[in-house]
């Protein structure tokens, strides 16, 4: 017990630093993924066959390849492009990581999350009764305004649980980026393992923090869902 207390007092701050980076990665991923996911969902629902095909191909390719492969492609690909261009990037640190590396990882995770969020939003929009669109059009709204002010706000209520689950999934999947040296929670656990020569204690600590993050988020989403039901 004393050993655990000493371990936590010495390294807990380091774990919290990694936790902050994990939260930042997840936040930017879900925020950007929601924007681009909405765009691809609307493309897939559009009457244009070309837009439908582009969205479908993108979603199938992204969902059909592992996230770690996408991370490697973006992480090393961006670095290779910058190197080939001959441009020397300034060493800017963001959240304790190199700016280019951090942005590359956010892009990679956003590309992955976009495909899943697009399908969530598409399903939410299609779950709205067709009569809602007809009613909006009968009131003089065009298709774009009907989607913006009538259909999508109702769809958001339906897809909130699924979006919350996607946020939780992103938090857990962010552990993958430790393989390219991004200093998030799992990377912090690996560093502590190498420093203390303890295998299980850093992993258990990281697992406990991941659980607290995901459990707290699920409870907050539950509160939001109940409030939305009351508003109905």
Per-residue pLDDT reduced to its tens digit, 34-49? 999 999 998 998 888 9
Alpha helix segments (H runs only) across the chain: 2-45, 49-63, 67-85, 99-126, 130-138, 143-146, 152-173, 185-196, 200-231
pLDDT at position 2 is 42
Question: 224: domain CATH number?
Answer: 1.10.3720.10
- The pTM (predicted TM-score) of the whole model is 0.86
Task: Find out whether 217 and 167 touch, Cβ atoms under 8 Å.
Answer: yes
Give the residue numbers spanning the domain of 225.
2-231
Count of domains forming the chain: 1
pLDDT greater than 90 at residue 97? no
> Given the structure tokens 């010495």, which residue do they identify?
10
């Amino acid at each position: 017990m004393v050993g655990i207390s000493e371990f936590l007092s010495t390294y807990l701050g380091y774990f919290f630093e990694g936790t902050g980076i994990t939260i930042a990665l997840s936040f930017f991923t879900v925020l950007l993924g929601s924007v681009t996911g909405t765009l691809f969902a609307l493309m897939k629902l559009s009457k244009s066959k070309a837009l439908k095909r582009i969205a479908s191909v993108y979603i199938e390719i992204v969902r059909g390849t592992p996230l770690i492969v996408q991370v490697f492609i973006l992480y090393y690909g961006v670095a290779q492009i910058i190197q080939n261009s001959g441009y020397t990037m300034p060493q800017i640190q963001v959240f304790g990581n190199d700016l280019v590396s951090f942005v590359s990882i956010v892009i990679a995770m956003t590309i992955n999350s976009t495909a899943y969020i697009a399908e969530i939003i598409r399903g939410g929009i299609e779950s709205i009764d067709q009569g809602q669109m007809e009613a909006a059009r009968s009131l003089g709204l065009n298709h774009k305004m009907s989607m913006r002010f009538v259909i999508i706000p109702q769809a958001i209520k339906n897809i909130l649980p699924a979006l919350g689950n996607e946020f939780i999934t992103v938090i857990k999947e962010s552990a993958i980026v430790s393989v390219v040296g991004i200093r998030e929670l799992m990377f912090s656990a690996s560093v502590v393992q190498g420093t203390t020569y303890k295998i299980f204690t850093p992993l258990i600590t990281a697992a406990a923090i991941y659980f607290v993050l995901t459990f707290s988020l699920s409870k907050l989403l539950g509160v939001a869902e109940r409030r939305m039901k009351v508003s109905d």
